Structures are given as C-alpha cells and as structure tokens.
Structure 1
C-alpha cells in the first residue's frame, strides 16, 4: 500500500475545495485496504482502553459531508472494534422544539463525550453555518434577539457565529477534549451514482428522499460554505482534514489513520500505576483467588 502522509490532508492554510481531489489511489486492492483498516481500528480500540483508564482526555470526532458521502458506514467500520462503552455516536437532524429553546450550541454541548470516551458527531454544530446559510429562513426559527427578518442575517451575523464555534472548541479543547474534524470530500458525479444506486437497490430505497435532489441543486452553494467554514475554523487544537471520499474504503483508512496518528501525539496517556499497597499484596491476593471454591 502506498505510504500516506496524513498531514497532507490537514488544513493548515486556506484551501479551495475545487482544487482538492475527491479521489486518491492508495495502490492497494480492496482486500488490502480492509486488512489495513482492521489493523488500525484494533490499535484505536487498544488506545481507547488505555485512555479510558487514564481518564483525562476525551475525543470528539466531527464528520461532515454532502449527502451519500459515507458518514454512517465510516462510523460503523472505523469504530467496530471499540468497547461499546468507549464510543457514543450522535446524529444531529433538524432541531427539536426543545433544542430551539436554547442557543444553537446547546444540543451539541450536552452530547460531548465524557473523559476516557470517544464522541462521534454525525453532522455537527457546523450545520449551523452550512444548511442555515443555504437556507437562511431556518435562522428565523431560532428566535434570536435582533433577528426578525432575513435582512437582519448579515455577514456580521455569520462572523459572530464562527467566533462562537471557535470559542466553543477552544474551551472544550483546553479542558481535555481532543477535537478532530473530517470533511468527506465527495465528487458530484460520484454522488449522482450513489443516489441512483439507492433507487436501483430496493433494500436501499428507504435512504432516498426527493429532498436529496433539491439539495443537490445547491451543490455549488454548499461547496462554497463548506470551504469558508473549514478555512475559518481549522485550528491547531481543532483541525479539519479534507478526506477524498469517492472510494469509501479509502476514506475509512485515511480517517482511522488520522485519528490514530493524532492520538499518538499525546505522550502522556498511560494506564494508571497500581496503588503501592495493592502492589505489595499481589501475591497474597493471588493466593486467595487460587484456592478453589468449596461447597459449604
């Protein structure tokens, strides 16, 4: 398999999405990619066990992408070796009435992962600067002071929202949450093929919605706003990675490798030392447990 430099996919300077390929050749068969992914996810699972015992860090994985980009299957395949207690997935859809009674970050804040655990956001707080920019009427439903009509939703409003997102991520990062954000970069033609497959395969028909086609008509708008969001919010403590996603197996390998490499940069994650008193008495405890049970 071709050697991969994950930092090549990390956004460290302004990018243009149209200049970034949606496909990359790993010079490996699907079988080899599956084998590589299996090794990576086992290592991730082992590392998460250690992180759980260490109990100082949590990890927030943010996944964004156009419809059919492969977010659901990526979550299933990358995290399938995790202890179920070690990872919690949240899929954010249209805000509920309760959620609309709070600020736009509230529903994400209450779902942040506990120390020692991974949280995966399938669609994220970035929907609030993506979908709402394409459909600004949604903002009116948030009942924000001073926002009474579309005319009130100015560029200053969006800049303020980006500031709030950056401050939110900085605050949780400084309190032990490792933030890794992935944009699954899908080509428009590949999306067309995937939508068509949903219609051609009866068991996948339920995934298709006519609304998918309406959103597809706004492809260029979404690309523009994704690009802006990525450029304004990719920070050293909360980096974005743009992942070529025309091939799902390739995208899964890249995301798993990126997570593992970023976690290995944290050199202070170790299993806690056993209490000295317990250490001194290990032989005694072994002796007790070595005695077979007897029926009284």
Structure 2
C-alpha cells in the first residue's frame, strides 16, 4: 500500500509555514499511469461512500477550500478527485471578481451564501481567502474599488489583522455547528507555472484558459508567496487546517488531496442510520403490491 504521509503537509498552527522550504514536488506516489488511475478510482469510491454516509447521518457537512496561483491545477484537481462522487452530494462554487451586489456587503457575505448543507461536501474554487491574498498584493483594490469606509483603509495592517481574525472566527463557528473546513494550497514552482502558461499559449484548445493578466501577476511572485505564508500561518488551526500540497506533479497532487479528504471524512462521527425492524417488515409487504401492479 502506498504511504502518503499527508501529515507532513498539514499546518494547524502548531508549526509555522516557511513557504520557501515547502516542497513543490515529492517522490511519485504511483508506479505508472495505470497504478495512478487505479488509486484515483479507489479514492473516488471511498469519497463517494463516506459522502453517502454523511448524507444519511445528516448531522455534518464538509467544506473544502482550494487556493493556488494561476495554472497550479485547481480545476483539474477538483474534477479528478471528485469524479465518481454522486453529484447530488457535492456543491462546487468558483469565486470570481466580486459583483456590485457583493461589494455592497462585507467580504465574507458571498461565501456564507454558498456554504454546503448538512450531508454535503462544499467545494470552493478560490474563496474568501482572496480577500487577504490578492487584495494584499494589490492594496489599491481595497482603497479604490471595495467601497470600504475611508477610516478602515487608513491602517491596512490593522485591516488584515481583523480579516484574519474574522476568518478564524468563521471557521471555528462552522466547525462548532458540524461543518469542518479543509483548506488546500496547491504549491507550484515559478518554473512549472511558466511551463504551464506557455503550454496554454501553444495549445490552441487551451487558449481559452489563458489570460494576459496571468503574465503580469508573475511580476508579483514574491509578494504572493509572502501573502500566502502569512495567510496560512494566521488562519491555520486544528479545527480548520491548511494542507500545502506540492503541485508540480499534478497526479501526485490529486492523490494527496484525495487521501486527505478521505482521512478527514473518516474523522467525523458519522454512521448509517440504525435499521428499523418495524419499518423493514412494513416495506416487505409492499413487495407483493409492486409485483401485482
């Protein structure tokens, strides 16, 4: 059995993340493509089983958050990891640039609206964390575009401190109410990101995924690394841990994410409903009715 050792990627506030020391690639967890596909299918089956059990128990939900720089592989990871999971049991929401309506509310408002129900797995492709990442790298978004009271933006350090606190409070509140949160940062190297962006340009079928702004954002690479390091260290808790996943190999990345989701689902005190013998006997009588129809 492959030893994934996912604890080495887990940050729960006990140890600080030093992002420059965090690996973007690890030894392969699979022997070849066939072995990779076999592990992926097995993981998909397990996720589906545990989601169904969570749905039947109907006391818990799970929120998974995916954050990464451009071309790290968020979309593909979500697609491959959750292929095989009953689509009625998952909710995927991709957060884009805030709309006018969203800007007229606090920065967490649009995320609250998309949280999963009990029994469901919620998947956030980007999230409320953009509000302490992109806007930290580009503070003019806060001061010019987000319609915040002028006094709040006079001290941006204080503003971000309060946002980290609000996020921790939100995730603690969710956990207390039966909605644990798992957060993934897909950690890609600058060179690998460059190769993937070039591949998007060279492949006509992938041109739609390429945005000129992705190239401009590479100029802020170090700023983003600092923003992620600070963000993860400020918001990593035992109840809402971060997993910093090496993303240079997409197959390894997907297998690690799948394994972590299974392990976190297994931690929940969920079980199938106890059988009701009286109801079972009543249902047996309906078999004759169905056959006679």
Same fold (TM over 0.5): yes
Say whether 1:185 aligns with 2:193.
Answer: no
In 1, are the aligned partners of 2:171 and 2:180 still within 8 Å (CA)?
Answer: no
Distance 1:286 1:24, change over 3 A: same
SS in 1 for 2:4: coil
Partner of 2:54: 51
Distance 1:117 1:148, change over 3 A: closer
Deviations along 1:225-248, whole A, 9 cap, x unmatched?
000000110000000000001011
| Deviation at residue 114 of structure 1 after TM alignment | 0.3
Structure-2 separation of matches of 1:73 and 1:50? 26
Deviations along 1:171-192, whole A, 9 cap, x unmatched?
1111110100000000100000
Distance 1:55 1:218, change over 3 A: same
SS in 1 for 2:11: coil
Structure-1 separation of matches of 2:259 and 2:37? 13
In 2, are the aligned partners of 1:30 and 1:249 still within 8 Å (CA)?
Answer: no
Partner of 1:216: 218
SS in 1 for 2:16: coil
Relative contact order higher in (CA < 8 Å, ≥ 6 apart): 2
Say whether 1:134 aligns with 2:137.
Answer: yes
Distance 1:239 1:287, change over 3 A: same
In 2, are the aligned partners of 1:63 and 1:183 still within 8 Å (CA)?
Answer: yes
Distance 1:270 1:206, change over 3 A: same
| Deviation at residue 90 of structure 1 after TM alignment | 0.5
Structure 1 residues 102-181: aligned runs within 5 Å: 102-140=105-143, 141-147=145-151, 152-181=154-183
SS in 2 for 1:17: coil
Distance 1:139 1:283, change over 3 A: same
Partner of 2:245: 243
Partner of 1:87: 90
In 1, are the aligned partners of 2:152 and 2:159 still within 8 Å (CA)?
Answer: no
Structure-2 separation of matches of 1:147 and 1:112? 31
Partner of 1:77: 80
| Deviation at residue 142 of structure 1 after TM alignment | 2.1
Deviations along 1:67-95, whole A, 9 cap, x unmatched?
00100011111111111110010100110
SS in 2 for 1:119: strand
- Computed over aligned residues only, the root mean square deviation of the Cα atoms, in angstroms, reads 1.6
Provide the TM-score with structure 1 as the length reference.
Answer: 0.93
* Structure 2 gaps, min length 5: none
Partner of 2:262: 260
In 2, are the aligned partners of 1:108 and 1:124 still within 8 Å (CA)?
Answer: yes
The structure 1 segments of at least 4 consecutive aligned residues displaced by more than 3 Å after TM superposition are 146-149, 290-295
Provide the TM-score with structure 2 as the length reference.
Answer: 0.94
Structure-2 separation of matches of 1:143 and 1:230? 26
| Deviation at residue 154 of structure 1 after TM alignment | 2.4
Q: Which moved more, 1:18-27 or 1:235-244?
A: 18-27
Structure-2 separation of matches of 1:99 and 1:167? 21
In 2, are the aligned partners of 1:179 and 1:239 still within 8 Å (CA)?
Answer: yes
Distance 1:174 1:213, change over 3 A: same
Deviations along 1:117-136, whole A, 9 cap, x unmatched?
01100001110000001111
Structure-2 separation of matches of 1:200 and 1:138? 32
Partner of 1:34: 37
